[in-house]
A and B are shown apart, each in its own frame.
Chain A
Amino acid sequence: MLIEEGRIKAAFDSGVFVLKLIGDVRLTLCATLDTQAQRLAQTPGLCAVMIDLREATNVDSTALGFLAKVAMAVKNRLEQPPTIIVDNPDVRQMLDVMGFGRFFTLLAAPLSSGLADAVEDLPEVQADENGLRERILEAHRILMHMNEHNREQFQPLVEMLEAQETTARH
């Protein structure tokens, strides 16, 4: 009855949780996704969260609510707020209107290799910031590899999300 073409993929590698939303993502009929957000935040070894919206054409309010819950759940666990990569101006405008800039780092593109070199040229900074930079770079590498190789490690989270979506549809 409802046509839903959106998908959510997730990967977890080296402490970085990557969520990728694709297409027209509508979780409208899912009552709440709090538990899933909590579960994500409790992933052992979690250091950074990155959300890739570059292939998302639309993100509905329930999905946005889920992302907000994720930000709230990891708020005191991560050194840096979660990153959202968004290049679609419509989706970006929606995030701005919803005040996501306060809880996420919004970027139009992951750091390119050229930029990565530039980062390495920066003067020496504190050790923990170095570690953080490493992790962020790694996250971007992972993100870039996501398209090339089919090596997404599906987390229980995604299965659960999809299961909920299926239940909602039938």
Chain B
Amino acid sequence: MRHDKHRDAQALARLQDCRQSCARLAEQNESLETQLALLRMDQQSGGHIQRRLLPVHPRTINGIRFDYWLEPSLYLSGDFLGYQRYSARYSAFYFADVSGHGASSAFVTVLLKYLFSRWLLTWDGENPDLFPADWLAALNRELQDTDIGKHATLFVGVIDHDTRTLHYSLGAQLPMPMLKTGTTLERLAGEGMPVGLFPDATYPVLSRALPPDFVLWLCSDGVLECLPGGNLEGRLRELEQLLRESTTLEQLRDRLACVSTSVALTRVQETDTAHGDRQALPDDLTIMMVSGFGHAD
């Protein structure tokens, strides 16, 4: 075969091109990895701040024990909650799921925390039955006015320790809050619109007498993604079964990890490793447990 200088030159040029693009890719790859690490650190520090804004847990207020388990989909959560002592007679709490998840939803949870504290500070201690619905209506106006295009599902409760009554209101809470007394489990009644979605929404004023020994369970809708069952009702029944069997938050968490169909919850619970992404949950997952009475403060 005749030696073709021209073809050699062409091949050499192609080889050089290849080497160059390879080096470029390696460079780009490195730069991307640096950017990703920066973003991850940014998210992680945001997550740490958000955890700090959550209340200490478990905590006992006026003989009622509040505890929760909150698992963000990735680093930042659109789920949020809070509980506060108002007086020796009243304590108030809320449980929220802001639409979406991640940073944009997490910002709204900070706003919620602030608005809840402020509303509680300005409450005169009269008409505890009206407090939850009034706050939701105010919150609805506030979110509409800020025009951030986010809405939230919420449950708000005021516990009257003297009369042993739960005054509550809710905006589109799903799954419904479950009240466990002895071996019976009941879905708390009531329906309300999500907060921040529709103008001029009104919220129900509801009350429920609390027995001396009760557990109130609140779950964000992220829990539904972890439960087996072909439809919503099936998954809700599965959840009820788990709640019936569980007496502590840890028990419920372990049982949930066992039945979880979508993700391995146990992997997510592991602390963040310095490198590598966490496995994302499809949605934020939060469970809150309120139990009483008679816990020592």
Chain B residues positioned under 8 Å from A89 (CB to CB): 231-233
Count residues of chain B with CB under 8 A from any CB of chain A: 28
Q: A28 contacts B198, CB within 8 Å? A: no
Q: Is B121 an interface residue when CB atoms closer than 8 A count as contact?
A: no
Q: Is A2 an interface residue when CB atoms closer than 8 A count as contact?
A: yes
Q: A97 contacts B172, CB within 8 Å? A: yes
* Binary CB contact string for chain B from 169 to 200 against chain A (1 if under 8 A, 0 otherwise): 00010100000000000000001111001110
Per the bound structure, the CA–CA distance linking A93 and B191 in Å amounts to 12
Q: B198 contacts A99, CB within 8 Å? A: yes
Q: B99 contacts A65, CB within 8 Å? A: yes
Q: A34 contacts B149, CB within 8 Å? A: yes
Count residues of chain A with CB under 8 A from any CB of chain B: 27
Shortest C-beta distance, A160 to chain B (Å), equals 15
Name the segment of B60-68, B100-108, B246-254 touching the other chain: B100-108
Q: B149 contacts A97, CB within 8 Å? A: no
Chain A residues positioned under 8 Å from B110 (CB to CB): none
**Contact (A98, B193) CB under 8 Å given A31-B104, A62-B99, A65-B150:** yes
**Contact (A68, B149) CB under 8 Å given A28-B102, A93-B232, A99-B172:** no
Q: A68 contacts B198, CB within 8 Å? A: yes
Q: Is B1 an interface residue when CB atoms closer than 8 A count as contact?
A: no
Q: A90 contacts B198, CB within 8 Å? A: no
Which of B149, B193, B232 has the most CB atoms of chain A within a 10 A radius of its CB?
A: B149
Chain B residues positioned under 8 Å from A98 (CB to CB): 172, 193-194, 197
Chain B residues positioned under 8 Å from A93 (CB to CB): 232
Per the bound structure, the CA–CA distance linking A90 and B227 in Å amounts to 15
Q: A32 contacts B149, CB within 8 Å? A: yes
Q: Is A72 an interface residue when CB atoms closer than 8 A count as contact?
A: yes
Chain A residues positioned under 8 Å from B15 (CB to CB): none
Which residue on chain A has the smallest CB distance to residue B147?
A: A34
**Contact (A69, B232) CB under 8 Å given A62-B99, A99-B193:** no
Chain B residues positioned under 8 Å from A99 (CB to CB): 172, 191-194, 197-198, 201
Q: Is B30 an interface residue when CB atoms closer than 8 A count as contact?
A: no
Q: Is B280 an interface residue when CB atoms closer than 8 A count as contact?
A: yes
Q: Is B245 an interface residue when CB atoms closer than 8 A count as contact?
A: no
Chain A residues positioned under 8 Å from B167 (CB to CB): none
- Looking at the complex, which one of B100, B148, B280 makes contact with A1 (CB distance below 8 Å)? B280
**Which residues 141-170 in B have Cβ within 8 Å of A in the complex?**
147-151, 153
Q: B174 contacts A28, CB within 8 Å? A: no
Chain B residues positioned under 8 Å from A78 (CB to CB): none
* Binary CB contact string for chain A from 54 to 79 against chain B (1 if under 8 A, 0 otherwise): 00000011101100110010000000
Q: Is B272 an interface residue when CB atoms closer than 8 A count as contact?
A: no
Per the bound structure, the CA–CA distance linking A60 and B98 in Å amounts to 12
**Which residues 82-97 in A have Cβ within 8 Å of B in the complex?**
89-90, 93-94, 97
Per the bound structure, the CA–CA distance linking A60 and B232 in Å amounts to 14
* Binary CB contact string for chain B from 250 to 267 against chain A (1 if under 8 A, 0 otherwise): 000000000000000000
Q: B149 contacts A69, CB within 8 Å? A: yes
Chain A residues positioned under 8 Å from B283 (CB to CB): 28
* Binary CB contact string for chain B from 96 to 134 against chain A (1 if under 8 A, 0 otherwise): 010111101000000000000000000000000000000
Shortest C-beta distance, A56 to chain B (Å), equals 13
Supplied contacts A32-B148, A61-B99, 6 more A-B pairs, CB within 8 Å: A31-B149, A32-B104, A61-B153, A65-B150, A89-B232, A99-B191
**Residues on A close to B: CB < 8 A?**
1-2, 27-34, 60-62, 64-65, 68-69, 72, 89-90, 93-94, 97-99, 102-103
**Residues on B close to A: CB < 8 A?**
97, 99-102, 104, 147-151, 153, 172, 174, 191-194, 197-199, 201, 231-233, 277, 280, 283
What are 16 A-B residue pairs whose CB atoms fall within 8 Å in the complex? Answer: A28-B100, A29-B104, A34-B147, A34-B149, A60-B99, A61-B153, A65-B99, A68-B151, A68-B197, A89-B233, A94-B232, A97-B172, A98-B193, A99-B191, A99-B192, A103-B198
| Minimum-distance CB pairs A-B, first 7 | A32-B149, A99-B193, A61-B99, A90-B232, A31-B104, A34-B149, A62-B100
